[in-house]
Amino acid sequence: MSNKRQRVSEAASYLLHSTAWKESSLITQMFTRDHGIVALVAKGAKRPYSALKPVLLNFQPLLLSWSGANEVKTLTRAELAGLHPLSGRALMSAWYMNELILRLLPREDPHPELFDQYKIALNALVQGSQRAALTLRQFEWLLLQETGYGLDESAPDFSDHVDEPRLRQQLRHRIDYLLGRPLRTRHVLMELMELQEHARA
């Protein structure tokens, strides 16, 4: 993690998580393409007329500028760079990816290929395509590879719908083993899938 002063302009980013800080500000965890996960303080972002308030949205592509030398840097500018309207199960799948990134990636360790796959996965979830589940498997696979915990085998055919359940189970066990327990968002996703199956029956 760098301890020298940074001044970054228009970095491609996504908001992973935010928490209230003081009366009117937020501490945000941003997933950036070229800088990895970066903690930024968004001063005044909770104020009703803040220019940051309508921009700092989860799952939306952002262009961020910041400066600072500490672990938590200061957000100086934020712009929306597109829109990913998500709802229902697609929204939970997106939260699941965020939780994986936050739990498995170290701070300020860039993973541009994983960032690009995250963006691809969000687009697939927005479209509600049949490829959404396979795209999520591809994201999980790449995340494990990028963090050094990948499976010791060649990459599977992610377009193979027949093999998807086996691959999902294999990746789920590996991730749960690494984290010591199932992810909260995965538990919710499994409950949603069970409800959908009961509704079809």
Domains and CATH numbers, the chain: 6-80 (2.40.50.140), 88-200 (1.20.1440.120)
- Residue 41 makes CB contacts below 8 A (sequence gap 6+) with 21, 25, 26, 27, 28, 72, 73, 74, 75
| Stronger pLDDT, 150 or 63, i.e. the higher one | 63
Q: What is the tens place of the pLDDT at every residue in 113-153?
A: 999 999 999 999 988 766 788 888 899 999 999 888 887 77
Average pLDDT value for residue range 83-108: 89
Quick one: pLDDT at residue 191? Answer: 57
Q: What are phi and psi of 162, to 5 degrees?
A: -65, -40
Q: Give the predicted TM-score (pTM) of the model.
A: 0.84
Q: Model confidence at 175, in pLDDT bands (50, 70, 90)?
A: confident
| Stronger pLDDT, 185 or 177, i.e. the higher one | 177
Q: Which residues pair with 29 in a beta bridge?
A: 17, 39
Q: Assign 194 to helix, strand or coil.
A: helix
- Residue 97 makes CB contacts below 8 A (sequence gap 6+) with 118, 121, 122, 136, 139
Q: Give dist(CA 165, CA 18) in Å, integer.
A: 33
Quick one: pLDDT at residue 187? Answer: 56
195: pLDDT strictly greater than 70: no
| Stronger pLDDT, 73 or 181, i.e. the higher one | 73
Mean pLDDT of the chain: 85
The answer to which of 48-52, 78-82, 124-128 has the lowest mean pLDDT is 124-128
197: pLDDT strictly greater than 60: no
